[in-house]
Amino acid sequence: MSLLNPTSIAVIGASNDEKKVGHLILRNLLTQGYKGSVFPVNPKGGDILGHTTYKTVTEIPESVDLAIIVTPAQTVCALAQECGEKGIPSLVVISAGFRESGGNDLELELQRIVERYGMNLVGPNSLGLMRPSIGMNASFGSHLPPAGTVALLSQSGALGQAFTDRAKSIGLKISLFVSMGNKTTMDECDFLELCEQDNETKVIGLYLENIRDGRRFLALARRINRTKPVIILKAGTTERGRKAASSHTGALAGSDAAVQAICGQSGIRRARSAEEFLDILRTLSLQPPLLSPSIAIVTNAGGPGVLATDAVEKEGLTMASLTPKNEEKLKSLLPATASVRNPLDVLGDALEDRFDLALQISAEDENVDGALVIVTPQVMTPTEEIAKTIIDVKRRHPLFPILTTFMGKEGVRDAINDLHQHGIPNFSCPEIAVRMLSFLKTQPAAPEENEEVPFNAKRAEKARQILTESGPGLLDEKRTGELFALYALPLPRGRVARTAKEAITIAKDIGFPVVAKISSSDVVHKTDVGGVRVDLQTEKEVSQAFDAIMESVAAKAPKARRDGILIQQFLPPGNEFIVGTLRDPGVGALVMAGLGGVYTELFADASFRLAPVSMEVAYPMLQSLRSFRILMGMRGRPPLDIAALAELICITSILAVECPAIAEIDLNPVLITEKGLTILDAKVIVK
């Protein structure tokens, strides 16, 4: 493709001034191994770096695959137009001064020109593009990183440059680096598609500050991640200065729910820090998958071996037990005080032969599927020879994942460089190395969403009427009841009483015991204002509760309108979950499920997905909760009605999609038993 593998490049804004970006980019293209034609363009003409300079692209006598524009923002559109006329298929616009600093009109114009000519556009406000395999450094970063299989797509040019600057020293090998800039036409989805088709790319790393089109991104990420792992580093996860959320769902969501949903639903992985992002990328690009969690640790020191063993359990891996035959073999060949039980301690005076033995046997052992080799530089430790041995074993066992932790600095520098050159990633401490091994575990593929989620237009219209009648704010009890009846959402039986006497009548009607709750569209958290009384067994209790609630709400929320008291059947306490929906400005409706009641806030055990969802998505969504064990029936209790909860998630998600007027739904708590569930409290917030 012309963008990734151009045979000729024009640098528009090339300059003789060594401090200018237009000079740096030209020099990078001329001196770092690029074999294609490079044409400097500058209205002044003349010679730059020994190359004839053209006054315009149209003067260039040959065809051009890629134009890099480095001129002031005001000149970019005219130049892009010229490129279009010359039939240049791809543009990288380095120039800043567009939307990021108020130049919205200029950016729109650029977009129109690019679309008119059907050109690819990277940027504007991009740092450029690197393609190490063909020596193409079409950026103002000073060095090309080593060539390899990782595509690095970055929404921050500076961060991307820091990453590529770092690449060589950590053994990260790059197929493609793109600074996406303002993403005017080509955004993360377009680059993902490009990487999917690119044969050089095997692993994709994305640094993102926003996702333009969440639904397209999800679909692409899910598909591509099956063959090329996608790792994201997402900035902007916190919600500084965000207003207090009106629902639990909103409170749990933060600004991060959409990303969480996309990762959970597509199977792509998310790094916890910039450092971890690079670590995951080099691990996944250089080592084969770990077929089982069973790993061996080979070390010349007890201490780090124990630290690694601790980490193995924490990261969900297991310490392999070697076959008795191999254990015997090791015992006969290693010194008596060596440990032949995993972690395999070859002792402080070990030369490369003992590492060779232990690692070789581990690689051949049927119980071992991967290894971490830990080397501390002791008196006579031949760290470079040990590195060579590991490289040799790896060459003989290419499908056996091996990571290393050569600890220290001076004593291990050359060994680490050698390992990195041969595609074995080294990590500074055992805990990080073990965590990276866990990323090599083969993962279940993200669920296929074959089942179409139906949209019921007739029902949607009825719902719209209910919501329109109500107007914005909290939907009242009555309309909530109507809406939920439309979607067959199970609310407990009950009605609103205006007087204590009416309350008794209703209670007798639906049967004791009952619960009494304030009915008011002004009260969001009923318990906060003393608005709930439970397990009322007698007429007297109902009557007393009615008065007590009215009094309490009047005192604690004097401005709240009191519509009456809702009398409902009282259900014995059970396991409480929460189901909710909200809208993300980027991706639209999200559905959430989690542990309910007070624990919702306390442990934030919740899972998000893009709405609507089918049962195929709702089940794994529940499985991802820590509290899924409660649903499965902990400690001898029978399993709860998981199917009913999954179905509730689906219906609620459809409700959110069919009713765009709904901002948030909060079903909390949802009481779930062995057979069925009931929504004990529901809040619907209309936009």
Q: Does 572 bind a second copy (CB under 8 A)?
A: yes
Q: Does 571 bind a second copy (CB under 8 A)?
A: no
- In the complex with a second copy, which residue's Cβ is closer, 422 or 525? 525
H or E element at residue 309: helix 302-314
Q: What is the DSSP string of 436-497?
A: HHHHTB--PPPPP--SPPP--HHHHHHHHHHHHHH-SEEPPHHHHHHHHHHTT--PPSEEEE
Among 28, 95, 111, 155, binds a second copy (CB under 8 A): 155
Q: What is the DSSP string of 529-546?
A: GT-EEEEE-SHHHHHHHH
Q: Does 291 bind a second copy (CB under 8 A)?
A: no
Q: Does 428 bind a second copy (CB under 8 A)?
A: yes
CB 342 to a second copy: min, Å: 10
Q: Does 559 bind a second copy (CB under 8 A)?
A: no
Among 46, 87, 302, 398, binds a second copy (CB under 8 A): 302
Q: Is 509 helix (H, G, I), strand (E, B) or coil?
A: helix
Joined tokens for residue 523: 């009260």
How far apart, in whole angstroms, are the C-alpha atoms of residue 249 and residue 667? 9
Annotate each residue in 10-29 with x if it binds a second copy (CB under 8 A) or - if it does not, as one string. ---------x-x--x-----
CB 670 to a second copy: min, Å: 17
CB 614 to a second copy: min, Å: 28
CB 497 to a second copy: min, Å: 23
Q: Does 627 bind a second copy (CB under 8 A)?
A: yes
Q: Does 522 bind a second copy (CB under 8 A)?
A: no
From the list 220-228, 427-435, 607-615, 640-648, the region that binds a second copy by CB under 8 A is: 427-435
CB 405 to a second copy: min, Å: 9
From the list 295-303, 456-464, 470-478, 647-655, the region that binds a second copy by CB under 8 A is: 295-303
- In the complex with a second copy, which residue's Cβ is closer, 395 or 559? 559
> Radius of gyration (Cα) for the chain, nearest Å?
31
8 A C-beta contact, residue 322 and residue 330: yes
Among 4, 312, 467, 655, binds a second copy (CB under 8 A): 312
Q: Are strands 564-569 and 494-497 parallel, antiparallel or unpaired?
A: antiparallel
Which residues in the 157-186 window bind a second copy by CB under 8 A?
157-159, 161-163, 165-166, 168-170
Q: Give the number of residues written for the chain.
A: 687
Q: Does 206 bind a second copy (CB under 8 A)?
A: no
- In the complex with a second copy, which residue's Cβ is closer, 158 or 615? 158
Q: Does 148 bind a second copy (CB under 8 A)?
A: no
| Peptide bond preceding 454 in cis form (omega within 30 of 0) | no
Among 63, 74, 142, 538, binds a second copy (CB under 8 A): 142
- In the complex with a second copy, which residue's Cβ is closer, 6 or 531? 531
- In the complex with a second copy, which residue's Cβ is closer, 403 or 506? 403
How far apart, in whole angstroms, are the C-alpha atoms of residue 590 and residue 294? 37
- In the complex with a second copy, which residue's Cβ is closer, 294 or 614? 294
CB 294 to a second copy: min, Å: 13
Which residues in the 42-71 window bind a second copy by CB under 8 A?
none
How far apart, in whole angstroms, are the C-alpha atoms of residue 425 and residue 410? 18
Place of tokens 């998600």: 653
Among 35, 243, 458, 635, binds a second copy (CB under 8 A): 635
Q: Does 300 bind a second copy (CB under 8 A)?
A: yes
Annotate each residue in 85-114 with x if it binds a second copy (CB under 8 A) or - if it does not, as one string. ----------------x-------------
From the list 68-76, 310-318, 446-454, 459-467, the region that binds a second copy by CB under 8 A is: 310-318
Joined tokens for residue 36: 């294609």
How far apart, in whole angstroms, are the C-alpha atoms of residue 441 and residue 5? 33
Judged by CB under 8 A, how many residues of this single chain contact a second copy? Answer: 88
Q: Does 672 bind a second copy (CB under 8 A)?
A: no
Residues 6+ apart with CB under 8 A from 44: 53, 55
CB 469 to a second copy: min, Å: 31
Which residues in the 386-415 window bind a second copy by CB under 8 A?
407-412
Q: What is the DSSP string of 567-618?
A: EEE-----EEEEEEEEEETTTEEEEEEEE-TTHHHHH--EEEEESS--HHHH
CB 223 to a second copy: min, Å: 27
Q: How much helix, strand and coil, in percent to the nearest 5, is found in the chain?
A: 40, 20, 40
State the DSSP code for 385: H
H or E element at residue 220: helix 214-225
Q: Are strands 514-519 and 532-536 parallel, antiparallel or unpaired?
A: antiparallel
- In the complex with a second copy, which residue's Cβ is closer, 54 or 570? 570
Residues 6+ apart with CB under 8 A from 654: 453, 454, 455, 456, 487, 611, 612
For 30-61, b/e burial (b = at least 16 CB within 10 A) is beeebeebbbbbbeeeeebbebebbebbeebe
- In the complex with a second copy, which residue's Cβ is closer, 260 or 470? 260
CB 565 to a second copy: min, Å: 18
How far apart, in whole angstroms, are the C-alpha atoms of residue 99 and residue 106? 8
Q: Does 314 bind a second copy (CB under 8 A)?
A: yes
Q: Does 132 bind a second copy (CB under 8 A)?
A: no
Joined tokens for residue 133: 């395999």
Which residues in the 526-555 window bind a second copy by CB under 8 A?
527-530, 535
Among 430, 481, 564, 669, binds a second copy (CB under 8 A): 430
H or E element at residue 671: strand 662-672
Q: Does 309 bind a second copy (CB under 8 A)?
A: yes
Return the amino acid letter for 574: G
Q: Does 601 bind a second copy (CB under 8 A)?
A: yes
The three-state (H, E, C) secondary structure of 606-657, written as one string: EEEEECCCCHHHHHHHHHCCCCHHHHCCCCCCCCCCHHHHHHHHHHHHHHHH
Annotate each residue in 214-253 with x if it binds a second copy (CB under 8 A) or - if it does not, as one string. -------------------x-xxxxxx-------------
Which residues in the 347-386 window bind a second copy by CB under 8 A?
348, 376-380
CB 166 to a second copy: min, Å: 5
For 196-225, b/e burial (b = at least 16 CB within 10 A) is bebebbbbbbbbbebbeebebbbebbbebb
CB 643 to a second copy: min, Å: 21
Q: Does 337 bind a second copy (CB under 8 A)?
A: yes
From the list 257-265, 470-478, 576-584, 631-639, the region that binds a second copy by CB under 8 A is: 631-639
Q: Does 518 bind a second copy (CB under 8 A)?
A: no
